[in-house]
């Protein structure tokens, strides 16, 4: 048996959703806590699988972790092991980020192979190349990465692409390394800046320069710090889309406008209207026009907004284009939307202006959506976390019942989604069903 979400559309979704701290910041803050010489406290944590997994990894390393509702306190003082157990292999992308902090505290580290969603090849060469430049010896085995370093030192590191994770790896290693690290070609996503500010709060010396450069002067020690996480911009966009795709209006609380600027400008271009205050953003539309959108690094249209937007395109009369430039394989959810009646064609040519990162790949990087076709509920299997949310959106705007399996992907990254959708008026329930044979 497996868990399924059963969705019965009810018409326009309306109401309020409060988002919590973002999935892609909370876990990094928990890892950064390993670097302090006293406990750190992270508040506004979402209730998601990735937090459970990261806390279990920290506990396996010996850290004492206290979780009280939305607040997590990590005491790194009891850390004694250098090995993240192999049972965490493939669960999420966090173990690789623990290499630097483990090397600083115990001089050696083992982390199992990183996991996360199957959205194309997700190499870790930027992380390992940077750590090697800083003095780590790294040996990649079938099971994971073994690393050793008696003394990590600053270096000049140039990332070939502004990778979020590799930037975070370098920041969390350079802050306690000897001397200066100059990091070029770095990511500037809000979650990365949030982490850099937390490290500064812990006593790190980090300068942010124009043109994707960070300068980090290593210090001898860092103390614990506290931080109230900022709202998840992926969830915020996804719920705004839930209102728009059903012809309703959702007001999202807890994610500031600056984190949504490109989402708001893109949806505005399509005809959406907004009410924006210091604490909330709500969106509605009389009619939405099609659009051409390409995903990009910040401040561009983020890759994690791509699948909800494509779901929305299916209900905008006319031809829309989505070009994915960050990940190699992020349209695995398209066949299921087509099974529901959407008219989406995939292409492996670049239908946009940004350089194609995966030239020669056989997986599609662009889609053309012929919007306006009615959707029918059916049985679908979630391929990855963001694709899964697109299914819920499509199901909410379809005719008839949709049964969604593979929802463990959604549980890993969305804070109480069933409760939130129920508050918005959707008829959505979690049930147990026999395991389906394979993904759509």
Smallest separation (angstroms) from ligand EPU to the CB of 367 = 18
Check if the beta carbon of residue 7 is closer than 8 Å to that of residue 427.
yes
Q: How far is the CB of 192 from ligand EPU (least distance, A)?
A: 9
First CA to last CA across the chain, in angstroms?
A: 18
Residue 265: exposure state from Cβ atoms within 10 A (0-12, 13-18, ≥19): exposed
Determine the interface stretch with ligand EPU among 61-69, 164-172, 274-282, 423-431 (rule: CB under 6 A).
Answer: 164-172
| Selected range binding ligand EPU among 212-220, 261-269, 298-306, 397-405, rule: CB under 6 A | 298-306
Per-residue contact flags (x/-) with ligand EPU for residues 323 to 342, judged by CB under 6 A? ---xx---------------
Q: Which is nearer to ligand EPU, 62 or 115 (CB)?
A: 115
Tokens of 233: 């911009």
Residue with tokens 């937090």: 51
Closest approach, Cβ 77 to ligand EPU, in A, equals 26
Size of interface with ligand EPU, in residues (CB under 6 A): 26
Q: Phi, psi (5° rounding) for residue 97? A: -75, -15
Q: How far is the CB of 286 from ligand EPU (least distance, A)?
A: 31
Cβ–Cβ < 8 Å for 276, 264: yes
H-helix or E-strand containing 206?
strand 205-209
The 256-295 contact track toward ligand EPU, x by CB under 6 A, reads ----------------------------------------
161 binds ligand EPU (CB under 6 A): yes
Which segment (115-123, 269-277, 339-347, 399-407) binds ligand EPU by CB under 6 A?
115-123
- Single out the residue of 37, 70, 85, 93 in contact with ligand EPU (rule: CB under 6 A): 93
Under 8 Å CB-to-CB from 205, ≥6 apart: which residues? 175, 216, 217, 218, 219
Q: Based on the number of CB atoms within 10 Å of its own CB, is 156 exposed (0-12), middle (13-18) or buried (19 or more)?
A: exposed
Q: Which stretch binds ligand EPU (CB under 6 A): 66-74, 296-304, 334-342, 430-438?
A: 296-304
Catalytic residue positions, numbered = 117
Binding mask 346-385 vs ligand EPU (x if CB under 6 A, - otherwise)?
-----------x---------------------------x
Question: Out of 18, 19, 21, 24, which residue is the one contacting ligand EPU (CB under 6 A)?
Answer: 24
Q: Quickly list DSSP for 28-42.
A: HHHHHGGGBSS-EEE
Nearest by Cα to 304 from 116, 159, 168: 116
Q: Is residue 124 at the binding interface for ligand EPU, with CB under 6 A as the rule?
A: yes
Question: Which residue, 123 or 374, is less far from ligand EPU as judged by CB?
Answer: 123
Query: Which residue has the CB atom at the shortest distance from ligand EPU?
Result: 165
Per-residue CA distances from 117 to 93, 198, 332, 397 (Å): 9, 27, 11, 26
Of residues 175-194, those binding ligand EPU (CB under 6 A): 187, 189
Nearest to ligand EPU of 188, 420 (CB atom): 188
Beta-carbon count within 10 A of 358 CB: 18
Which member of 9, 15, 95, 165 binds ligand EPU (CB under 6 A)? Answer: 165
The CA-atom distances, in angstroms, between 68 and each of 28, 43, 315, 417 are 19, 9, 42, 20
Tokens of 406: 């593979």
| Nearest Cα residue to 152 out of 172, 140, 139, 136 | 136
Contact pick of 54, 163, 282, 307 for ligand EPU (by CB under 6 A): 163
Q: Which residues bind ligand EPU (CB under 6 A)?
A: 23-24, 93, 117, 122-127, 161, 163-166, 187, 189, 302-304, 326-327, 357, 385-386, 413
């Amino acid at each position: 048996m497996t868990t399924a979400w059963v969705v019965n559309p009810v018409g326009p979704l309306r109401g309020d959703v409060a988002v919590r701290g973002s999935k892609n910041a909370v876990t990094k803050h928990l890892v950064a806590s390993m670097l302090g010489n006293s406990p750190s406290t992270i508040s506004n944590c979402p209730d998601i699988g990735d937090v459970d997994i990261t806390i279990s990894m920290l506990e396996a390393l010996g850290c004492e972790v206290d979780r009280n509702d939305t607040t997590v306190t990590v005491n790194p003082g009891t850390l004694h092991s250098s090995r993240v157990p192999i049972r965490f292999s493939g669960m999420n992308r966090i173990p690789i980020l623990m290499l630097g902090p483990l090397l600083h505290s115990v001089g050696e580290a083992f982390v199992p192979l990183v996991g996360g969603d199957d959205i194309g090849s997700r190499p870790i060469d930027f992380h390992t190349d940077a750590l090697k430049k800083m003095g780590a010896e790294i040996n990649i085995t079938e099971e994971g990465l073994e690393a050793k370093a008696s003394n990590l030192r600053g270096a000049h590191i140039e990332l070939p692409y502004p990778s979020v994770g590799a930037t975070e790896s370098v920041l969390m290693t350079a802050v306690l390394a000897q001397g200066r690290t100059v990091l070029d070609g770095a990511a500037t996503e809000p979650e990365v800046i949030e982490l850099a500010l937390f490290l500064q709060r812990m006593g790190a010396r980090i300068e942010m320069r124009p043109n994707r450069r960070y300068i980090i002067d290593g210090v001898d020690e860092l103390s614990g710090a506290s931080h109230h996480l900022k709202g998840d911009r992926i969830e915020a966009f996804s719920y705004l889309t839930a209102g728009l795709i059903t012809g309703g209006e959702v007001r999202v609380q807890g994610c500031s406008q600056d984190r949504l600027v490109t989402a708001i400008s893109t949806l505005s271009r399509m005809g959406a209207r907004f009410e924006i205050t210091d604490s909330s953003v709500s969106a509605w539309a009389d009619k939405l026009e099609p659009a051409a959108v390409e995903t990009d690094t910040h401040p561009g249209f983020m890759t994690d907004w791509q699948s909800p937007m494509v779901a929305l395109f299916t209900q905008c009369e006319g031809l829309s284009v989505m070009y994915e430039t960050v990940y190699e394989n992020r349209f695995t959810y398209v066949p299921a939307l087509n099974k529901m009646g959407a008219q989406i064609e995939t292409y492996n040519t670049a239908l946009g202006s940004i350089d194609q990162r995966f030239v020669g790949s056989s997986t599609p990087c662009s889609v053309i959506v012929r919007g306006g076709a009615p959707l029918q509920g059916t049985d679908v299997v979630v391929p990855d976390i963001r694709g899964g949310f697109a299914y819920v959106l499509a199901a909410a705007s379809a005719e008839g019942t949709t049964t969604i399996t593979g929802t463990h992907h959604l549980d890993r990254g969305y804070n109480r989604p069933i409760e939130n959708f129920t508050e918005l008026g959707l008829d959505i329930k979690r049930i147990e069903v026999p395991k389906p044979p394979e993904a759509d």
